[in-house]
Structure 1
Amino acid sequence: MGLRKFGPFGRLKKAFGQAVGIIAVSVALATAPSVAEANSKYAGIVVDAKTGKVLYANNANARRYPASTTKIMTLYVLFEELEAGRVSLNTKMKVSRYAAGRPPTKLGLRVGGSLRVKDAIYALITKSANDASTVIAEHISGSEKAFGRRMTQTARAIGMRNTTFRNPHGLPNSKQVTTAADLALLGRAIQDRFPKYYKYFNTRSYTYAGRRMGNHNKLLGRVRGVDGIKTGYTNASGFNLVTNVKRDNRQIVAVVLGGRTGKSVMRRW
């Protein structure tokens, strides 16, 4: 997924590169021409990560489909398990027939095999592997359905009032919804609570079973200060991005949901 496919993301990249500093992100978004009118799926928010101050918002509390940004919460719950000592990075999780059968993007795990927790973390962050997400869910809660309840309970504890999870990967489910504001809150919470594990989101590539997996977040390594965190896409959601930027003693979390693809969209920006 190149940056050219993300209408508002191109604005983010341009803003990040300006000498006026990191706060220019909010200006670039706010001055984008008729964003909401141009795309009914669009929602966005820019938040000061340290204070929680909203620097920009458009449809920030409108419900949207999270797609693979769902995996931020999947990892949040996994990090809880690591912190509590119920799993370790070397814990091997069993691969069920159901998990192996999840549709792409996936690792291609074998039924009856196993997946280490550490490999699962990298698989979600880089390749956004759906089969690995289900392996995590089944290991922790026994099923995707039960894990979805755990995810939603965790969301409420964080303060995500308008988010409901049904699965750990973000594959289409009409009842799995979130908002830009809630995802910004999650983006702040996961790095505040788990700084030891948050660093994994800065991984540009990872090799598993001899195959190199590149991170879908193309801002990494291209925009100074970006250290994660997650992209997502389904037909229903459009292109989604939650990203964190640290620069010049400032830090923001920016969320763009419903990005559109194609040259016609780029001309609008």
Structure 2
Amino acid sequence: MSYLNRITGLIMVCAAVGMVPVTLADNTSWPVPPLSKTPVPVIPAKSWLLMEHHNGWVLAQHQGTRSLPIASLTKVMTAYLVFDRLRAGEVMLGDKVMISKKAWGMPGARMFLPAHSSIRLESLLKGMIIESANDAAMALAEHVAGSEQAFVKRMNRVARELGLMHTFFDNSTGLPTGKNRSSAHDLGRLASILIREFPQFYTWFGEKEFAFRKIRFYNRNNLLWQTPGVDGMKTGQSRAAGYCLIATTQRQDMRLVAILLGAPSKKSRNESMKTLLGFGFKAYETRFLLDATTVVTRMKILKGSSYQVDLGLMQALHVTLPRGAFNMLSANVYTGAHPSAPIEAGRQLGHLTLNYEGQQLGEYPLMALYPVSRGKWYHGLLHQVQQWWE
């Protein structure tokens, strides 16, 4: 069986041999997959969006690029920046964070941090994520950047770097004293990037409770108790923003990210989110097609120490389509002229296209899975013998 036939077979039967979650973080156009004929539900909110996590495909939306107040959804970006500094080694989970008078005085949801005390950074992160604690968010911003003002500058810079075109931050907490705004598109993108880049920390968004100094705090995302499969992410509410929610859920290979902004009440927000997620699972399905580094095809190499090189994807490949539509999916592999050695690992030498009903659905680069050095004089002779036997 050829490798192309193997891919097509995988598309047809979707043999699940492992999964590596991948989001294409450089997708700024928000590609739309073939849409399901299942009616999209009516959602009473100013803006909402349902996306598939692996490729960032938008499955349904209403005013998804509208920039609106986001209240405590702000803290998703605050958490992302702290996670990024942890990754860089600039801060540690065990750091003792000094609680300033400004952090101590934060109104709204809080951990009741004593002024001038030293609190472990990990505890502050969990308090901000689970309890939505404003005092914890302020303390983290000051610890990471020296001041909230400097931290907010980082927030806006990173938002631009991530392609969040409808987002602006004025504070690190989401308190209504600021002018924080974003769109459902941008928040879905941010949520998906955070899940992909920081899976070790993302699980904290799904923790139902957190104890700190004999006080037990409960996650404000009621869907963690009410909806099987929901494993994060963040709530927000203010007079200007209304009731907001980012929710993430997974069933088998399918992970959905849903964003709802400006719902009229907490009950409406929760029920609408359940409806939206239910629609996603009813109307669409995601199938795992190829693992990262799986050999897709082989390519002949000129003047190399090896006669050929294996080509594959550097990221796992998932596809989401309307239910029952996978029999209309096909694949093609394209490679150029035979290259000459040396070949570096990761060099693109072709691409794989997926097609749906005759239209190209996606294009994925095929990379050399290992390096091939320049060959000696006798390699040419060996290659000729190998070709003769083939």
Smaller-chain TM-score bracket: 0.7 to 0.9
2:255 paired residue among 229, 232, 251 = 251
SS of 2:257's equivalent? strand
Deviation digits for residues 188-215 of structure 1, max 9, x if unmatched?
Answer: 0101111111111111001000010000
Q: What secondary structure sits across from 1:251 in the alignment?
A: strand
Tell me whether 1:93 sits opposite 2:103 in the alignment: no
Structure number with greater Rg is: 2
More relative contact order, 1 or 2 (CA 8 Å, 6+ apart): 1
Q: Which residue identity does 2:212 align to in structure 1?
A: Y
Q: Deviations over 1:162-202 (max 9, x none)?
A: 10111111001453210011000011010111111111111
1:209 & 1:266 partners in 2: Cα distance?
30
* 1:75-114 matches, cutoff 5 A: 75-114=79-118
Pairing partner for 1:132 from 107, 131, 136: 136
Alignment partners' CA distance in 2, 1:119 and 1:183: 25
Aligned position for 2:159: 155
Alignment of 1:157-196 (within 5 A): 157-173=161-177, 175-196=179-200
Mapped contact 1:224–1:247 kept (Cα < 8 A): no
Matches within 5 A, 1:8-157: 30-32=40-42, 35=44, 42-157=46-161
TM-score in terms of structure 2 length? 0.58
Shift in Å at residue 134 of structure 1?
Answer: 0.3
Question: For the structure 1 residues 61 and 263, does the alpha-carbon distance in structure 2 shift closer, same or farther, using more than 3 Å as the test?
Answer: closer
State, as a whole percentage, how many aligned pairs show the same letter.
34
Residue 240, structure 1, aligned to residue 217, structure 2? no
Is the alpha carbon distance of 1:65 and 1:193 closer, same or farther for their aligned partners in structure 2, counting shifts above 3 Å? same
- How many residue pairs are counted as aligned between the two chains? 238
Partner of 1:19: none
CA deviation profile, 1:49-97 (whole Å, cap 9, x unmatched):
0111110110111111111010000000000111111111111111111
**Amino acid in structure 2 at the alignment position of 1:205:** E
| Letter paired with 1:31 | P
- Using the alignment, how far apart are the partners of 2:121 and 2:270 within structure 1? 39
Q: Return the letter of the residue paired with 1:55.
A: L
Structure 2: 5+ residue stretches without partners: 1-36, 276-390
CA–CA distance in structure 2, aligned partners of residues 255 and 221 of structure 1: 18
What is the one-letter code of the residue matched to 1:32? V
Distance 1:224 1:101, change over 3 A: same
Aligned residue for 1:89, secondary structure, equals coil
Contact 2:141 2:151 (8 Å CA) reproduced: yes
Hey, which bits of structure 1, 4+ residues long, moved more than 6 A? Answer: 262-269
1:131-160 per-position Cα deviation (integer Å, ceiling 9, x unaligned): 000000111112212111101111111111
Query: 1 or 2, which has the higher strand percentage?
Result: 2
Q: 1:267 to 1:124 in 2, by over 3 A?
A: closer
Q: What secondary structure is seen at the aligned counterpart in 2 of 1:220? A: helix
Q: Using the alignment, how far apart are the partners of 1:264 and 1:221 within structure 2?
A: 16
Q: Give the Å deviation of 1:266.
A: 10
- Aligned equivalents of 1:27, 1:94: Cα separation in 2: 53
Q: Which blocks of at least 5 consecutive residues in structure 1 are unaligned?
A: 1-25
Higher helix proportion: 1
Task: Please state how far the C-alpha of 1:221 moved relative to its aligned partner.
Answer: 3.1
Measure, in 2, the Cα distance between the counterparts of 1:262 and 1:205.
Answer: 19
Q: Secondary structure at the match of 2:130?
A: helix
